[in-house]
């Protein structure tokens, strides 16, 4: 009984608010904001939306609507109001003075989720940098808000202790974080260069947040990545190797999930992680095909991939949750239906990856004369020998050979 009372007290009740000015699909955006709020640990108790030609300069929504918001928040004993747009410091102060409830915006909410999800050192540094860059011009509003109304959702993470400090100290911290991240990016860039030099093939898993990317990586490769039915369940980069049907090995890399209207600061902060997609040999674009907005979300992902310079990289559309699909969608060489949870369609997916990857190596059967036995060592340098059999006619070899040595091996090829 006592435990239940304690749990009830710590639940944050949130009211969502927005001005629908026709710039984007407000209804879909509010659904997403509600999912974000739930992911952050809030209980959404109400929504207030006002259609307007433009946001009210002082309070986003008009005088009558802001009073309605105040009365609703008071009646429902809400702890928090979340606006589906970015708020300036003055707007935060103005709205809080009227509703007398702590106010945060969409970006602060996402930053809060990121702060709770980052695990690696790089992830934590990226989150803190994004928090500080976003909060620096809003110190006057957000700092006063925290002092008057306490902590909670929108105040967590490495950046929270910096809010009450002076701007010079924060700018100094931002510079230090940027230097640290540049060092980590150099190491990541070196790793990418080394993979290219060693002919390591890479496949980047990209897609909208909560599409099933981490579940796919876990069940496809045996990785142990956090996979939850929540937005931004995974922030940190994870990679695992897997063998394809043609014998080649590909390194599968999971990346941070995407979202509509992903704040610019967050795109910048996680660019080094997202750039793994830009350097990949193939991209696995995961879509939750059971989602009624799958097409719009696919477009969001495609636009960001184009911005990152991924236009020339082969893409396989991985239609996840096919077990929930009512209509039949035909598969093709670059479109595969799977169920990441059960493994259905994984064999087709791996074949599609093998078919669409640039041909850097080729499986080949050989009969080598004994005086050409040294060619097996050459194959092993950048390839793989699956079997060798010494016969009276020569050495039978089943191998995966780098494309650069295929021409030399052609005379000894057998079918």
What does DSSP assign to residue 257?
P
What is the average pLDDT across 275-281? 77
pLDDT in tens, 172-211: 888 998 898 888 878 877 776 776 656 678 888 888 877 8
Show the CA angle centred on residue 383, arms to residues 206 and 409, nearest 5°.
130
Contact present, 135 and 171 (Cβ < 8 Å):
no
Q: Is the pLDDT of residue 90 over 80?
A: yes
- Whole-angstrom distance, CA of residue 122 vs CA of residue 158: 12
- Identify the band that residue 46 occupies on the pLDDT scale cut at 50, 70 and 90: very high
Q: Is the pLDDT of residue 280 over 50?
A: yes
Strand order in the sheet with 282-288: 238-243, 249-254, 201-207, 282-288, 315-320, 335-337
**pLDDT at residue 199, as a whole number:** 66
**pLDDT at residue 268, as a whole number:** 66
**pLDDT at residue 116, as a whole number:** 78
Q: Is the pLDDT of residue 359 over 50?
A: yes
Average pLDDT, the chain: 81
Question: pTM for the complete prediction?
Answer: 0.68
Collect all residues with Cβ–Cβ distance below 8 Å to 106 and sequence separation of at least 6: 33, 36, 82, 83, 84, 85, 86, 261, 263
Q: Which of the pair, 209 or 51, is modelled with greater confidence?
A: 51
């Amino acid at each position: 009984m006592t435990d239940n009372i304690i749990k009830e007290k710590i639940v944050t009740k949130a009211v969502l608010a927005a001005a629908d000015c026709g710039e984007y699909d407000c209804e879909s955006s509010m659904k997403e904001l509600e999912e974000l709020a739930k992911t952050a640990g809030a209980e959404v108790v109400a929504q207030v939306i006002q259609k307007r030609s433009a946001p009210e300069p002082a309070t986003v929504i008009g005088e009558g609507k802001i009073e309605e918001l105040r009365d609703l928040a008071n009646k429902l004993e809400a702890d928090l109001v979340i606006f589906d747009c970015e708020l300036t410091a003055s707007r935060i102060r103005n709205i809080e003075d009227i509703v007398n409830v702590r106010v945060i915006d969409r970006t602060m909410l996402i930053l809060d989720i990121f702060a709770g999800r980052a695990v690696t050192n790089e992830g934590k540094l990226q989150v803190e940098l994004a928090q500080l860059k976003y909060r620096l011009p809003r110190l006057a509003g957000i700092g006063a808000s925290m002092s008057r109304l306490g902590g909670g959702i929108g105040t967590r993470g490495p950046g929270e202790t910096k809010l009450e400090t002076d701007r010079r100290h924060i700018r100094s911290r931002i510079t230090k974080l940027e230097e640290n991240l540049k060092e980590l990016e150099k190491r990541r860039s070196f790793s990418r260069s080394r993979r290219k030099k060693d002919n390591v093939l890479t496949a980047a898993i990209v897609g909208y947040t909560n599409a099933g990317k981490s579940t796919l990586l876990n069940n496809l490769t045996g990785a142990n990545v956090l996979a939850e039915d929540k937005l931004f369940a995974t922030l940190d980069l994870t990679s695992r190797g897997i063998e394809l049907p043609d014998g080649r090995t590909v390194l599968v890399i999971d990346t941070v999930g995407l979202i509509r209207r992903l704040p610019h600061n967050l795109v910048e902060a996680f660019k080094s992680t997202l750039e793994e997609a830009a350097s990949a040999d193939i991209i696995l674009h995961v879509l939750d095909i059971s989602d009624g907005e799958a097409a719009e979300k696919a477009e969001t992902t495609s636009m960001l991939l184009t911005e990152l310079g991924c236009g020339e990289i082969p893409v396989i559309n991985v239609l996840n949750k096919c077990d929930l699909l009512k209509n039949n969608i035909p598969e093709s060489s670059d479109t595969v239906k799977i169920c990441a949870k059960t493994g259905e369609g994984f064999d087709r997916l791996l074949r599609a990856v093998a078919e669409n990857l640039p041909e850097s190596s080729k499986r080949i059967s050989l009969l080598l004369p004994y005086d050409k036995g040294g060619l097996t060592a050459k194959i092993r340098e950048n390839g793989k020998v699956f079997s060798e059999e010494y016969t009276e006619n020569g050495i039978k070899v089943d191998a995966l050979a780098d494309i650069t040595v295929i021409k030399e091996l052609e005379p000894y090829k057998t079918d």
